[in-house]
Amino acid sequence: MLQVSDIKINYLKEPAGITNSPQFSWILESNQRNVKQAAYRLQISTEETFHTIVYDSQKVTHEESAHVFAKGFLPKSASKYFVRVKTWDNHEEESPYSKTSFFLSGLMEDGDWQASFISAESKEDADSSKGTYLRKEVILNKKIKSAYAYTTALGLYHFYINGQKVGTDQMAPGWTSYHNRLLYQTHDITSLLKDGDNALGAHIGAGWYKGKMGFTHTRNIYGNQTGFLCQIHIQYEDGSNELIMSDDSWKGCDSPVLFSEIYDGEIYDANWEQEGWNLPRFNDGHWQSPEILTIDNSILTAQAGCKVREIETLPAKEIFKTPKGDTIIDFGQNLTGWIRFKVNAKAGEKVILNCFEVLDKDGNAYFENLRSAKETLEYTCKGNGEATYQPYFSFQGFRYVKIAAYPGTLSRDNFSALVVHSDMEETGTFHCSNPDLNQLQHNITWGLKGNFLDIPTDCPQRDERLGWTGDAQIFCRTASYIMDTYTFFSKWLEDLAADQTPEGGVPHVIPDILSGRSQDDGLISQGTDSAAAWSDAAIINPWTLYLVYGDKEIIRRQYGSMKAWIDFMTHHATDGIWSYRLQFGDWVALDAEEGSYFGATPNELICTAYYAYSSGLFAKMAQTIGNDEDFQTYRQLHEDIVSVFQNRYFTEEGDMSIQTQTAHIVALYFNLVPEQYKEKTALGLVKLLDKENGHLVTGFVGTPYFCHALSRNGHTKEAYELLLKDDFPSWLYQIRKGATTIWEHWDGIKEDGSMWSADMNSFNHYAYGAVGDWLYRVIAGIEADENEPGYKHFTISPQIGGNLTYAKGTFKSVYGEIMTYWQRIENTIQLDFTIPVNTTATILLSDADDVILNDGIAFTKGSFGYEGVTGSGNYTVTYTIA
C-alpha cells in the first residue's frame, strides 16, 4: 500500500493569498519498510475535475517530496487552483492520486490594486482609540462563478458581507513593519454574495497602528488615522468580470467601541449599536463620506496563512472571593486571548472585568506586574434580553478575572476564555513517567501559545508585548518542535530585514518601534539596536528553519539581511572582539550584582562567542546555496574569531579565564573550546554547577544550552539532575509554585509567596522554555542532521536517565511523523520508533551494553555505542545498559 496525503503549498494547507510560484510538499504512507519515493507526478488545474490542467509535471524521477516547484508555473491573479499528486516508490509500487488540495492566488501584477484606503476618522482623531464602521451596498444581477475579496487595514479590522463575518481571522492584518510591509488577506466570498442587494461592512480599530505602544507609551507610531482597503474580484458564469472596491462611495460612522487598545482593553456601549448596519437596505443617510488616504500600494503583501485565530475555548473553572472581598474567576490556565461573556441586564448597567495573571501571597488579585496596562473590559448594556460580548480589537494575558461589576447572578456558565494565537499546526508531543516534566512540557507549549500572536512577543499582559529578538532566537528551536513555525518565523524575519539599520544593525525589537523615538531614561536610551544574542536572531532563526524544514528558500530570502549583520559586527570589532553600545549580556542571570539585570559573564565574551557562532552558521548557509566565495570568506572569518576567543579566554593550562557557568556553556555549545581542553572545560562547568549545589545561576544566554553543554560532553547524569531540581532556582520550582506557563524570572514568586519585582515580572514569558528542545533532542532522542536537513536523515539516540521509566516523543516533520518511545525495566531498554517514508535514520544507542533484539537493523559497536542505519518503518529494539 502506497498513498499520498497531507499536500501543502508553501507549508500551508489550502492557503489563500499565494503570489509566487509556490512550492509543494506531501507525505507518503506505506505498510512496507525502507520505502523511498522514486518518482512523482504533480498536476495543477483550474477545475476540481482536472478537465483543464494548467500544469502537469508528467512522471518525474526524483526522491524529493518536499520543496517541489512546478517549474514554469506562475498563478494568475485572483484565481483558484487545484492540486493533486501521485508517486512511485523504490519497490515499483504506484500510488493513486492524492485527495485534491487547492490554493487561492493573490493580486500578482503591478496595477492590480485599484482600491483606495478609506477612513471614517479625521486627523483630529489622532488621540482617539475608538472603533469606526464603514459600509457600502452593491446590487448583483448575474450568476456568480467566483468571488474573491482582498482586504486589509491601517489598524485592525473585521470584514462582513450581508451580516456575516468573513473568515476566522482575528487581530488582522497583524503587526508588521507597516511603513515597509502591510499584509492583506484573501478570502473566497463566493458563497456569501447573493443575487440582488448585498452589503459590505468593515469594523475598524486602532490596534498596533495608531494605539499607545511600547513601554515609552508612544501613540500614532505608524499613522494617526485608521483606514480600510477592500477590493473584490467577481467572475460571472457568462465570462464577464466586475470589480468592487473601497472608495468615496462608501459611508462611515463611529461604532459602539468607544475605546480599544492592545494594553488597556476595550470599552463598549451596546446603546450605540445600529442594528443591521452590515445588512442590505440599512438607512445610512446620517453616515458620512469617508476620507481617502494616500498610501503607497507597493507596501501591500499577501498573507497566505498563519493568521491569528480563536484556537480553543476554556470554561471558567472556579468563582471565589478573595480575602479582600473581590470576586474572582479562575480559568485554571494562564493564557492569551479574551473573555466571552453573557449578560441579561437593564439598559445602562455595566459589566467591568479586570484581567490578571496571579494571586499574591495572601490570595488577593495582583495587578502591579501589569505596570500601566489596564487589561480591562467595560460593557454597557442596552437591555432587550441576553447579550453576548467579547472584545474586538484588544487581547489580554490572564488566568484570573476580577469581576469589578456584573449585574445579576454570577454563573460560571456565563464566562469562557478564548485562547487566541497564530494558527500553526501542532507538530510535537512529549510525555514521560515524571509528571513534573510533563507539566513543564505543558507550560512550555502554553508559553508559545501565549506569545505567538502574529509576532513572537516577550509577554502578553503588561505594557510591552514586543517582538524582542533575543527571546525569539533562543526559543526558535523548541518552538519548531512543538508547532510548524516556518510561516510564522519567516514572516517575522522579513520584518527584521526591513527594519535593519542602513549599516546592518538589527533592532532589539521587531517590528522596531523604539528606534528614532525619544528615550529620556532607562536602558534603551543607550541604544535600540545590535545586541549580541538578540540581533543574532538574524542568523540563528533562518538557520533553525533550514535545519528543521530543509528549505533553502529561507536562506536565499534572508541572505542579504544575514550578511549585513555579520558585516556590521566585523565593522565594529577590534582585533576580533566586538561590542557595541547597549548589550544585554546574560540578561537577568542570578550571578548578577544585587539590583542589576546584567549577569556576571562579561559582555565582550558573549559578543565574541555569538560573533563566532553566527559567522560559522552564515558560512554554512552560503555554501548551501552555492555561494562559494562567501563560504570561503566567512569560514575564514569564523576560524579567526574562534582563535581570538580561545587566545583571550583560555589560559595556557586550559582553564577558562572567566569562571561563570554561562562562559563555559557558550564555549562548549558553540564549539569554541580547543579540542584538547573540551573535557577539562566540561568538568569546569560541572564544578561551577556543584558550587551552586547543582543549581543554575544563568540568564537568557546560558540557560538554553546548559543541559546540552553537559550531555554533549559526557555529563548526561548532571544534565538530568539540573533539569529535575525543584527548589529555587529551577524549572520545576515554578511548577511547584503552581505555574501553568514559563516565568520571566526564576523567582517570579518567591518561596514566601512575595513577588520578585513589579517592574519586570511576567508569568508568561517563554524564553526559559528553550530547555524544551532538550526534552525532544536528548530524552526522546530525535535529532536533526544538518547534512540532510528537514529530517530527510536524522538520528534517534535517546539518553536514558533521571530515574525515568519511560519517555515518548513525536515530531511531525515535512516527511511525516517521527516517534520514539522507550521503556526501562531494570537494566533493559525497549525502544520503539517510527521512521517516516522517504527518510532514513541513524540509530545510536550511546549507553547500550549489549543489543538483545535488533529488529533487522545491522548494529555495529563503536566508540560512541551501538550504531545502525535504517529506512522507513516501525521498529522495536531491545538492549541492556550498564
Cell of 66: 518536499
To 10 degrees, the CA torsion angle through 828, 834, 835, 841?
A: -10
E strand map for 226-375: 227-236, 241-245, 251-254, 257-261, 265-269, 291-293, 300-303, 308-315, 318-321, 327-343, 350-356, 358-359, 365-366
Q: How many CB atoms are closer than 10 A to CB 429?
A: 18
Closest of 186, 666, 218 to residue 474, by C-alpha: 666
- What are the Cα distances from residue 867, in Å, to 720, 788, 797? 23, 18, 9
Cell of 768: 526559559
- What are the Cα distances from residue 648, in Å, to 20, 408, 440, 644, 673? 48, 70, 38, 6, 12
Cell of 454: 502574529
Measured CA to CA, the distance from residue 37 to residue 642 in angstroms comes to 42
- Can you give the length of the chain in residues? 882
Residue type, 560: G
Q: Residue 444 burial (CB < 10 Å; 0-12/13-18/19+)? A: buried
Measured CA to CA, the distance from residue 609 to residue 533 in angstroms comes to 9
> How would you classify residue 174: left for phi > 0, otherwise alpha for psi between -120 and 50, otherwise beta?
left
DSSP 337: E
Question: Contact at 8 Å (CB) between 877 and 856?
Answer: no
Residue type, 150: Y
Question: Contact at 8 Å (CB) between 817 and 839?
Answer: no
- Give the residue numbers marked as catalytic: 464, 744
Does an H or E element contain 142, and which? none
Q: Please name the residues in contact with 41: beta carbons below 8 A apart, sequence gap of 6 or more.
A: 56, 57, 58, 59, 60, 85, 86, 87
How big is the chain by its Cα radius of gyration, in Å? 28
Question: Contact at 8 Å (CB) between 389 and 379?
Answer: yes
DSSP 635: H
Measured CA to CA, the distance from residue 453 to residue 175 in angstroms comes to 9
Question: Contact at 8 Å (CB) between 579 and 607?
Answer: yes
Residue 691 CA to its chain's centroid (Å): 37
Question: Contact at 8 Å (CB) between 163 and 227?
Answer: no
Per-residue HEC secondary structure of 684-700 comes to: HHHHHHHHCCCCCCCCC
Q: How many CB atoms are closer than 10 A to CB 805?
A: 12
Cell of 22: 509556490
Measured CA to CA, the distance from residue 588 to residue 759 in angstroms comes to 13
